[in-house]
């Protein structure tokens, strides 16, 4: 099998275990959580996206990794990670938290879609060896990022359930202030 074929198999099959895990363990919990808590959990995962800057480190990636892929992937991940961290810092201020949640999800999903586009146009599967130590990022990490962005948008779009007064305080560690402004009234 060619390296390009192996990379494409890895890329596609990277979604299978994450979808199975997400469907069995993560999604059922996210759906039951307060809207703010669910977004906070997703933001926590995405706050690690500063790691994407590794695409710019010589010696970690090969010298022939296309700059058109590496630069956008690195800075798109970095921007998403910073926005997710800002959202986490603003968690107790809903008027700031919610726009940051939307921002990190929009920037993050655009980053991933453009990375897939660049990877296709620049024939990344034929250059998969140039990913070096970062090979695992598109195979293992990107699928869960994409899945959680889709989940975040779904959760943002669905109506917020009216919670009983004080409900969820034990489960959220007293963070009931994360409810959307409309549900806090």
Q: Which residues of 51-70 are buried (b: 16+ CB within 10 A; e: fewer)?
A: ebebbbeeeebeeebeeebb
pLDDT bin (cut points 50, 70, 90) of residue 175 is very low
Radius of gyration of the chain (CA): 18
Token couple for 55: 């695409």
pTM summary value: 0.84
What confidence tens digit (pLDDT) does each residue in 62-108 have? 999 999 999 999 999 999 999 999 999 999 999 999 999 999 999 99
d(CA 164, CA 142): 37
Listed in sequence order, the residues at least 6 apart from 36 whose beta carbon sits closer than 8 Å to its beta carbon are 91, 94, 97, 175, 177, 178, 179, 180
């Amino acid at each position: 099998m060619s390296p390009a074929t192996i990379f494409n198999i890895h890329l596609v099959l990277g979604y299978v275990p994450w979808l199975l895990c997400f469907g069995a363990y993560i999604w059922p919990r996210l759906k039951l959580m307060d809207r703010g808590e669910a977004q906070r959990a997703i933001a926590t995962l995405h706050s690690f996206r500063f790691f994407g800057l590794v695409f710019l480190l010589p010696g970690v990636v090969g010298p022939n990794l296309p700059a058109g892929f590496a630069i956008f992937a690195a800075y798109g991940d970095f921007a998403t990670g910073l926005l997710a961290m800002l959202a986490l810092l603003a968690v107790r201020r809903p008027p700031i938290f919610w726009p940051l949640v939307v921002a990190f999800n929009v920037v993050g999903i655009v980053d991933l879609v453009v990375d897939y586009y660049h990877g296709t146009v620049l024939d990344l599967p034929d250059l998969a060896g140039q990913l070096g130590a970062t090979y695992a990022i598109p195979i293992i990490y990107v699928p869960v990022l994409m899945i959680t962005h889709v989940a975040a948008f779904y959760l943002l779009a669905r109506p917020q359930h009216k919670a009983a007064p004080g409900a969820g305080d034990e489960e959220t560690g007293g963070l009931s202030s994360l409810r959307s402004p409309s549900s806090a009234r």
